[in-house]
Structure 1
């Protein structure tokens, strides 16, 4: 078989018995570095134009990123030109530091500095691969040879930086494929680089530890970070950064555990665009912190704009189930979920701490509307249908009618095989419960209470030929029911009825819902009117009209 698991070997975990990171809690956001314009751009079928890069750069600045990797200027002319454009047109805010990538090769490092000439501050990110497979199968070099590449690159970075004293330089080194590198060797190479840069003498340094390929579970990556964190020289003078890829689908988790293990900084991309399965998703990780009450130091409230810009610049659609940003992530189709959401939202006040079933955060925080939370299909139940009517039409239904009407909506959804929108739900409610036969339309009523109850005189039907009926009972409904029973020789038993006052500003002031048994047949109806009595009587007539098919004659 071609599909044979035996050709793979399990990743060897770190022999570590002194783990501290599992007990840590992230209480503040790490330093963020957005690498959309370099790593993300390299992964695109059609790389971004300068105009697209500018648009995405402006978005990253607006969201609040203070470190932005803008490209690989020594390897790409468009990247070089974009770097020059940002600097020469003064498009980099004073509080934003651009970052560029270069291999640890002298000629590429020199051209990198040419691209950065005139920048107020910048991060020069130099790398070389240190992994076992790269050393043995790609470069054919031993440990010392690969380490010398890193050290020579560090020397060149430092020497050329001295030629541009007006720029505040930060040096960054990545042992590429860190996760595939022996830990003791990775530490040896990093220490050798820092021996050149001497962060202890004031040179800002970032040591970036990339999971260039995600090779193990996130806890193993956290062990690697904590191991390195405990053993590097100059640790108190450097920032440890992580750059996780998503080959196993765990890039966000790996980055979060890495921060728990001592990482200070996280690189990633908006929506996780990147090579193969992508990079660590900055939106997801930042919002994960936000949902725990931690300030992410980024403003992601305009999520629609973020997704629009990212999609326009990368030409990659956002998955509808993408965490926090997807169209459907705050949507509940399940009936039990909808009912729970509806009840929680009805109970909460605006100043309450967020605690709503099935919604980890308030969709409004991301510019979303509650209209997008509850959507109706054949899987939906009474709670969702009731919520839509309340939300969009100010119609509150009693529980018995919620159950009954939800079945009407479900049948419609099963026939159509898809989602039922709010307008369709309202149309179904109107046609099934609110529709009034002209012959049964309430024209006027007169109620008189005496010692024996209520005497009702009611006029129904067309204005040109109304019908007047009279009856007596303990209340208005019983009195009118008695009149109908006498006139049409029908037995009427009221099973349930509910009245609701509607909010000011609506065309009707009251809603009444009624369920009766007429000649053994169950009938339900509802009515909107200016007052609760009118609404109740009209609902009664509409219910009875479902059994009594002949038009009433003049009494």
Structure 2
């Protein structure tokens, strides 16, 4: 089986549906160009039927982007399909992504349709889309709460109708990793024409399991992961692109998979999205958070300064950062403080460093973090030896 994992980015569609994350046409185009630079295989540009603005944005992105496939989302309704097909008329690599719910709870309470009617609607939609474009994706909304036997039936039928990707969404973030793995394996092993299509997964993070579920799906036959920059999306968000990609990159000893992502563009992409939306990234967010490569504890600081591998499993440079960050706070040690002061031009002997360390820890108790300006102000009012000390006598720890 091919070990390349297609990265399908839905930041511009599912991500934008997050409250407060809406983007206008120029902003979406700017981010789409960055996603292309990032190396995303598929960019889901929007939901054309949703509004005239969404339609025009998908159209403009399709005209502009040449390397990435551009997907337009649509329900299986005819008016949706026609809008999606039209929006992609100028795209170099167009994909129609059509969907309908398959769980009994959605059929009964939302669609008020039978399984037979849903299957027929799905097949008709795929056939119509296939008459216009070759690259067709079909999603079974709420797949993780659907009857696996019905999923096998509907996926078999849409592949026969021309679908080249079948998506198995954990729409409400309900699945546990081992459950989701079993579902993907069941589909992979029992859909008779599965060799004609790629299995895709689209996981939400309601239980904080979106990335884990996506990786478990890959281990069981999925070869496309749908995700978003910074993990944004409906409710608690989608699987985080940066986490999925860096898990694969960092743990190649355990997962022999590849992506086409230029990982050095991960942090710039994260920052661009934050700047466009005005929504910052949580400080402890994996990979791209402010604290992802920051160290305050003295033991950690000492180890990282000696060899970053002691506490960092990937380099800051690998995701587009210039360096890690040593934070001076009440947990910091003398070794890290001495190194930070050296960066600022202050070379203290052991006695002076001990004295300054005591002052810094008191200041840190008052204001949590001591920044470079605080240190320079402190040193400006502190007496210390101006002679550069012998390195052998400078305290560590």
Which residues of structure 1 form unaligned runs of 5+?
1-25, 162-167, 198-203, 346-355, 437-441, 443-497, 502-510, 515-555
Instruction: Tell me the TM-score normalised to structure 1 length.
Output: 0.65
Give the CA deviation at 1:76.
2.1
CA offsets per residue over residues 429-452 of structure 1, 9 Å max, x none? 57545268xxxxx9xxxxxxxxxx
Give the CA deviation at 1:103.
0.6
Residues 396 and 500 in structure 1, CA contact (< 8 A), matched pair in contact too: no
Name the structure where helix makes up a greater proportion of residues. 2
Q: Say which of 105, 108, 114 aligns to 1:133.
A: 105
Q: Say which of 326, 329, 337 aligns to 1:374.
A: 326
Task: State the structure with bigger RCO (CA 8 A, min sep 6), 1 or 2.
Answer: 2
List aligned pairs for 1:175-254, cutoff 5 A: 175-197=140-162, 205-254=164-213
RMSD across aligned positions (CA): 2.7
Matched, 1:172 2:137: yes
Q: Say which of 276, 279, 285 aligns to 2:238.
A: 279
CA offsets per residue over residues 490-540 of structure 1, 9 Å max, x none? xxxxxxxx9527xxxxxxxxx9879xxxxxxxxxxxxxxxxxxxxxxxxxx
Aligned residue pairs, count: 391
Distance 1:107-1:423 versus aligned 2 partners, 3 A rule: closer
Distance 1:330-1:55 versus aligned 2 partners, 3 A rule: same
Alignment-derived partner of residue 388 in structure 1: 340
- For 2:81 and 2:337, the matched residues in 1 are separated by 62
- For 1:295 and 1:389, the matched residues in 2 are separated by 42
Give the CA deviation at 1:140.
2.9
- For 2:88 and 2:266, the matched residues in 1 are separated by 32
Matched, 1:255 2:214: yes
Name the structure where strand makes up a greater proportion of residues. 1
Alignment-derived partner of residue 317 in structure 2: 364
Alignment-derived partner of residue 123 in structure 1: 95
- For 2:16 and 2:90, the matched residues in 1 are separated by 24
Residues 349 and 389 in structure 2, CA contact (< 8 A), matched pair in contact too: no
Higher Cα Rg, which structure: 1
Matched, 1:151 2:114: no
Larger deviation: 78-87 or 423-432? 423-432
Moved runs in structure 1, 4+ residues, more than 6 A?
511-514
CA offsets per residue over residues 200-251 of structure 1, 9 Å max, x none? xxxx600011111111322211111111111112111211110111111111
Which residues of structure 2 form unaligned runs of 5+?
none
Give the CA deviation at 1:172.
0.8
Give the CA deviation at 1:396.
6.9
Larger deviation: 316-325 or 266-275? 316-325
- For 2:239 and 2:61, the matched residues in 1 are separated by 26
Residues 293 and 325 in structure 2, CA contact (< 8 A), matched pair in contact too: yes
Give the CA deviation at 1:273.
1.0
- For 1:229 and 1:407, the matched residues in 2 are separated by 62
Give the CA deviation at 1:66.
2.4
- For 2:16 and 2:364, the matched residues in 1 are separated by 42
Matched, 1:100 2:72: yes
Give the CA deviation at 1:97.
1.3
- For 1:28 and 1:329, the matched residues in 2 are separated by 28
- For 2:299 and 2:358, the matched residues in 1 are separated by 14
Structure 2 SS opposite 1:434: coil
Residues 180 and 213 in structure 2, CA contact (< 8 A), matched pair in contact too: yes
